[in-house]
Chain A
Amino acid sequence: QKEVEQNSGPLSVPEGAIASLNCTYSDRGSQSFFWYRQYSGKSPELIMFIYSNGDKEDGRFTAQLNKASQYVSLLIRDSQPSDSATYLCAGDTGTASKLTFGTGTRLQVTL
């Protein structure tokens, strides 16, 4: 079973701090990784995508991918209370039409 694993949290960070969310995957054939944000009672929305080793930045968000260590992370700088949500990591499975999702990490940004 190809797996994507995340710590369920909650991860609690104060407002203005950096939140670091981590994800590991078991399928060495996975090429592309996605981070989705899901607010309570809502559907997931795509916030970041990465397929190359290294960092990818978009505003306050930075995705990091290390294929040798099979590790993906999402950094959120200057965390805001509105960032409080569950963050889902997903990787492709070698079949381009399918993603495997992690169970998600719940982030709480405190005032």
Chain B
Amino acid sequence: DVKVTQSSRYLVKRTGEKVFLECVQDMDHENMFWYRQDPGLGLRLIYFSYDVKMKEKGDIPEGYSVSREKKERFSLILESASTNQTSMYLCASSADRGITYNSPLHFGNGTRLTVT
């Protein structure tokens, strides 16, 4: 079974802090993604990466950056956390560049971030 592990289940940070959310997958997947999920807004793509050191902006990249130094690890960075970044953050991976039934998204358990 594919395992996507997010380092923290719950996180509380203060406004202005630099925040790192870590994600590791154990299946040698090419693609990794960061989404945030908010009530009424659904899942929105922040950034994704299809290779080491490669990254592409998703739909809502403002206020975030990412790092992919190793294939199995994809980090989301909030340079200066703000209260509107309070959300559930979900990491996902997929085997191939294209998302298909044979290469679906596999999600981690999520990190609930609260910024006070």
Q: Which residues of chain B have C-beta atoms less than 8 A from A49's C-beta?
A: 100-101, 104
Determine the distance from Cα of A101 to Cα of B38 in the docked complex, in whole angstroms: 12
Q: Digit string of A68-111 for contact with B (CB within 8 Å is 1, else 0)? A: 00000000000000000000101010001111011110000000
State which size class the interface on B falls in.
20 to 34
Residue from B40, B45, B50, B90 in contact with A103 in the complex, judged by beta carbons closer than 8 Å: B40
CB–CB A97/B42 < 8 A: no
Does B34 sit within 8 A of A, measured CB to CB?
A: no
Q: Which residues of chain B have C-beta atoms less than 8 A from A98's C-beta?
A: 45, 48, 58, 99
Q: Which residues of chain A have C-beta atoms less than 8 A from B101's C-beta?
A: 46, 49
Majority DSSP secondary structure for residues of A touching B = loop
Chain A minimum-CB-distance residue to B45:
A98
Does B67 sit within 8 A of A, measured CB to CB?
A: no
When A42-B109, A97-B50, A103-B40 are in contact, do A32 and B104 touch as well, CB less than 8 Å?
no
Chain A minimum-CB-distance residue to B49:
A97
CB–CB B104/A43 < 8 A: no
Q: Digit string of B13-35 for contact with A (CB within 8 Å is 1, else 0)? A: 00000000000000000010001
Does A16 sit within 8 A of B, measured CB to CB?
A: no
Determine the distance from Cα of A28 to Cα of B97 in the docked complex, in whole angstroms: 21
When A97-B31, A97-B98 are in contact, do A8 and B107 touch as well, CB less than 8 Å?
no
Chain B minimum-CB-distance residue to A104:
B42
Q: Which of A23-64 contact B (CB under 8 A)?
A: 32, 34, 42-46, 49
Determine the distance from Cα of A8 to Cα of B41 in the docked complex, in whole angstroms: 10
Determine the distance from Cα of A46 to Cα of B107 in the docked complex, in whole angstroms: 9
CB–CB A96/B105 < 8 A: no
Determine the distance from Cα of A106 to Cα of B99 in the docked complex, in whole angstroms: 25
Does B43 sit within 8 A of A, measured CB to CB?
A: yes
Known: A46-B101, A97-B48, A97-B97. 9 other contacts (CB 8 A): A8-B40, A34-B104, A42-B109, A43-B107, A43-B109, A98-B45, A101-B42, A103-B40, A103-B42
